[in-house]
Amino acid sequence: MKTQQGSGLKTVLARYGSFGVLFVITLAMSLANKQFLTLPNLINVARQVSINTIIAAGMTFIIITAGIDLSVGSLVALSSCVAMIIIEATGSSLLGIGAGILVGGAAGAFNGAFVAVAGIPPFIATLAGLTIYRGIALIITGGTPIIRFEGGFLSLGQGVLLGVPVPVIIMAIVVILMDFLLTRTTFGAHIYSVGGNVEASRLSGIKVGKVKFLTYVMGGMLTALAGMILMGRLSSAQPNTGEGFELDAIAAVILGGTSLMGGRGTIWGTMVGAFIIGILNNGFNLMAVDAHFQLVAKGVIILLAVLLDRYLKRKQA
Amino acid sequence: MSDNSESKVSDNDGLRAPEGASGSPAGLPAGLSVEGISKGFPGVQALDDVFFSLRRGEVHAILGENGAGKSTLLKILSGALQPDSGRILLDGTEVHLRNPKSASDAGVAAIYQELSLVPWLSVAHNLFLGREKMVGRFVMSPKKLHRKASEVFSALGLSLDPNALAGNLGMAEQQLVEISRAFSRNARFILMDEPTASLTETEINLLFKKIETLKKAGVGILYISHRLEEIFRIADRVTVMRDGKSVYSGLAGELSLPELISTMVGRSIGNHYPKEAVSPGEVLLEAEDGVSGPEGILFTLRKGEVVGLAGLVGAGRTEWARKVFGADPDPEIRLRISGTEVTVNSPRHARDLGLGMVPENRKDHGLISGRSVLHNITITILDWVSRFAIVDRRRQSAVSAEYIGKLSIKCPSDSADITTLSGGNQQKAVLAKWLARRGKIIILDEPTRGIDVGAKLEMYQQMNALCREGKGIILISSDLPELLSMSDRLYVMHERRFVASISREEASQERVLAYASGLNDSQILRNGSEGV
């Protein structure tokens, strides 16, 4: 019976780990700056965080299977460029957004095929994707941003519903759906299994390749969705956007307690991780910290957060 | 409870005169000993006031079921774990083994079940891993490395190639490299955890010879094994542990095998192998060995039958079973399952045909580590307990509870991490997932390897129960007595072919080993035990 308590406590503590970090950082930021803990600013933080959270949600699935997707930054650019070209050509935002998300799914399938079918390590397969998708985005736009100030797509990034920014609503829906998918469905159980022990999963009759493949497809589609939001917010599609997004997404996943070795992790944790990064960015900006120093400070804080999390987990293990 | 008094005696002895060890007639000088060691983990008292001593030049075996505390004791002696209370004495002086390095400095070396050689380094380099300075201050001279390694090997009478890559060696040779490493570090005490678990008979003989050599050199050897017969071959003294306590300590041979077993489990086990007679039903499975050439023997499995696969390590039994199960699909292996001819192309396909497999390598191929017992049991039947891919948790836990009860899997709750269970219970969980899927043909590949006597017995009883339900079992085991006792029929494999089919009545260890060694019928008829 004790072990049962132990494992219950373990999950609480594991969660408390990243929540604790989030709490401490929130507290520090609100003490450092009066503007921080105001509703408008918090809503602002949530909006800023939404894109990373959506990408990181897909990344969580992939990392739980012990994979990784380095191509998400480029895919944000590619999907939004394709979407914008279609919108320019047809005038239909819906068609453009549909095409953009389709491109995301296709790129994810491309990554997934190399990982799951060809057996290329995810790091390498998606590193190739990183340059390929960026290249295609530059080719189809001729390297220049496409700017457009009209169309329904703008509301994806700029709209507000009942006082809540549309990106935040989309983020909430994505997080709830992905969490459900991960914790309540056979697909989710298979994802955890494959990450926990790929060979045992295969020998249990799980179609391991299919599971991995699907996580990349889903990751690609979520990344494209984030690309649509970014396009709406910037009123433009930019072939050079999204650089370094993969690092923010991976950082959010890791901060959220997901193991890079696979098998463990939660979507909620990832959202907390994304908020930690978002609050750091926001707080530093409010305090007018030099951007160059911000980069260093952010990296150091991420290291400390992971160390703290690990310390807390080990202590009760 | 005589054991308690013995513990007390050694306690007093230890306090008064550390040099004079307890109740031994030989009166050898005390070596490495522990006094009143306790160690607790969350939810379990792994060691409870344990007394134990290991003298120079003796082999001291520790017996006990899984979870009895043997490995914890070993880890404390090797500095990998720290005791909560109690003392460790080296020749009567208290020592603190804070980590494996300080244990190694004190002359204690441990060889664990999972070997720790670096596979892509040479044998010689592995031998001096971490002590490269012995070979060269900065630049390592390959010649010197080779020479030094050869010196160590010849001192132990081993013929190992120092230039070979460690990863290319067999398990036994790797183990010998580890032993050589311990020896070359002047280890005075070597602790071995299940050293023979994956060795063949010949390799075990070689290992035992080397252990004798070490003994003569004055090295004390602590020996943990589940193979009880070995204890009588090699041990000088025996300590039995149960539930974290040392319950018996004495000279080897004082207790008979059945007495030792009942001391270990705390109850007497009437029949080692409780095989029930069955009347086999219709044919479930027919299969070939899949090797081209003259037509071989056809493998058949009937309802309610246990069919054993015998053979030397490397004879291809596991490989054949994996092909049958579709783990390594092979179009050459055609099966006839309940009359229909099929070629299994994936484990998923096998699952749908009613096959299940408990793989040889439990940790790497059986367990979904880090996940719950529930998850591990129900992983094969998620489609049965879900609607529109949404898992019905109530039905899922009902299935899990059913099999936890049916196989009496001991776990604190179904949400416990599978890796926290004892080996026997892990194995039962791996079996449970196929029973949950209602598999008709169950392949058990070394199902009792590394699990304790009590859990073995339960596994045998499960096999009986499965047979009563009309399932067919293919049993692969390197434990010949187990294989002979639990199988209704046997096939013997030699170089990936079925070379003999033997009924339970005709089967004997000698006969099976003769076939397994490649002798043919006429040779065996002339002289049954030749070549064994």
Among B327, B391, B420, select the one facing A3 at the smallest CB separation: B420
- Structural domain contains residue B387: yes
* Measured CA angle at A22 (ends A20, A25), to 5 deg: 105
Binary contact (A204, B380; C-beta < 8 A) = yes
- Structural domain contains residue B255: no
Rg (CA), chain A: 20
Binary contact (A204, B412; C-beta < 8 A) = no
Mean of per-residue pLDDT scores for chain B: 83
**Residues of chain A contacting residue B359, judged by C-beta atoms under 8 Å apart:** 200, 203
| Chain B nearest C-alpha distance from A216 (Å) | 19
pLDDT (tens digit, 9 = 90+) per residue, B48-99?
999 999 999 999 999 887 667 888 899 999 888 899 999 999 888 889 988 8
Q: Could you tell me which of B178, B206, B237, B255 has the C-alpha nearest to residue B58?
A: B237
Residue found by looking up tokens 């969705």 in the block: A225
- Whether residue B246 contacts residue B459, with contact meaning beta carbons closer than 8 Å, is answered with no
Alpha-carbon distance A257 to A268, whole Å?
10
Q: Are residues B346 and B448 in the same domain?
A: yes
Binary contact (B371, A193; C-beta < 8 A) = yes
At residue B12, the pLDDT reads 35
CA distances from A36 to A25, A40, B126, B213 (A): 11, 9, 58, 74
Q: Are residues B280 and B336 in the same domain?
A: yes
Domain boundary among B131, B150, B170: B170
Q: Are residues B332 and B475 in the same domain?
A: yes
Q: Identify the residue among A180, A197, A260 best suited for mutation to test binding to B, counting B beta carbons within 10 A and taking the highest.
A: A197
Size of interface A-B (CB pairs under 8 A): 101
Higher pLDDT, A128 or A304: A128
What would the 3-class secondary structure string for A239-253 be? CCCCCCHHHHHHHHH
**Neighbouring-strand partners of residue B488:** none
Q: Are residues B467 and B328 in the same domain?
A: yes
ipTM over 0.85: no
Does pLDDT of B130 surpass 80? no
Alpha-carbon distance B290 to A214, whole Å?
35
Domain boundary among B136, B153, B170: B170
Among A6, A187, A201, select the one facing B368 at the smallest CB separation: A201
The sign of the torsion formed by the CA atoms of B361, B365, B369, B373 equals negative
What's A145's domain CATH number? Answer: 1.10.3470
Binary contact (B347, A204; C-beta < 8 A) = yes
Q: Identify the residue among B325, B361, B368 best suited for mutation to test binding to A, counting A beta carbons within 10 A and taking the highest.
A: B368
pLDDT band at B3 (very low <50, low <70, confident <90, very high): very low
What range does the domain containing B387 cover? 369-437
Q: Are residues B410 and B530 in the same domain?
A: no
Nearest CA in chain B to A182: B390
- Structural domain contains residue B140: yes
Q: Are residues B343 and B484 in the same domain?
A: yes
Instruction: Retrieve residue A269's tokens.
Output: 């944790």
At residue A291, the pLDDT reads 86
Among A185, A190, A264, select the one facing B370 at the smallest CB separation: A264
Q: Write b or e for each residue in B340-379: b if 16 or more Cβ atoms lie within 10 A of its Cβ, otherwise e.
A: eeeebebbbbbbebbbbbbbbebeebbbbbbbbbbbbbbb
Binary contact (A263, B350; C-beta < 8 A) = no
Q: Are residues B376 and B446 in the same domain?
A: no
Q: Are residues B445 and B507 in the same domain?
A: yes
Rg (CA), chain B: 25
pLDDT (tens digit, 9 = 90+) per residue, A236-286?
999 999 998 999 999 999 988 888 888 889 999 999 999 999 998 898 888
Nearest CA in chain A to B361: A200
Nearest CA in chain B to A197: B368
Say how many domains are in chain B.
Answer: 3
| Chain A nearest C-alpha distance from B244 (Å) | 18
Say how many domains are in chain A.
Answer: 1
- Structural domain contains residue B235: no
Alpha-carbon distance B430 to B527, whole Å?
42
**Residues of chain B contacting residue A192, judged by C-beta atoms under 8 Å apart:** 368, 371, 375
pLDDT (tens digit, 9 = 90+) per residue, B364-376?
899 998 899 999 9
Q: Are residues B388 and B499 in the same domain?
A: no
User: Using the 8-state DSSP alphabet, how is residue B418 labeled?
Assistant: G
Among A2, A187, A192, select the one facing B43 at the smallest CB separation: A2
Q: Are residues B454 and B347 in the same domain?
A: yes
In this structure, of A15-19, B107-111, B177-181, the range with the lowest mean pLDDT score is A15-19
CA distances from B438 to B176, B379, B380, B443 (A): 44, 13, 10, 13
At residue A104, the pLDDT reads 97
pLDDT (tens digit, 9 = 90+) per residue, B459-511?
999 999 999 999 999 999 877 888 888 999 999 988 888 988 998 888 887 78
Q: How does strand B306-310 pair with strand B355-358?
A: unpaired
- Structural domain contains residue B25: no
Residue found by looking up tokens 């002979």 in the block: B484
| Chain A nearest C-alpha distance from B105 (Å) | 28
- Interface check B417 vs A, CB under 8 A: yes
Residue B84: what are its φ and ψ, rounded to 5°? -75, -40
**Residues of chain B contacting residue A203, judged by C-beta atoms under 8 Å apart:** 325, 327, 347, 357, 359, 365-366
What's B531's domain CATH number? Answer: 3.40.50.300
- Interface check B365 vs A, CB under 8 A: yes
At residue A313, the pLDDT reads 63
- Structural domain contains residue B405: yes
Instruction: Retrieve residue A101's tokens.
Output: 């998300």
- Whether residue B47 contacts residue B69, with contact meaning beta carbons closer than 8 Å, is answered with yes
Residue A66 neighbours by CB under 8 Å, 6+ apart: A194, A195, A198, A260, A261, A262, A263
- Whether residue A153 contacts residue A96, with contact meaning beta carbons closer than 8 Å, is answered with yes
- Interface check B129 vs A, CB under 8 A: no
Mean pLDDT of the region A85-95:
94
- Structural domain contains residue B423: yes
Domain boundary among B411, B437, B463: B437
Q: CB neighbours (10 Å) of residue B424?
A: 25
Alpha-carbon distance B142 to B47, whole Å?
45
Mean of per-residue pLDDT scores for chain A: 89
Q: Are residues B330 and B408 in the same domain?
A: no
Residue found by looking up tokens 């005490």 in the block: B189
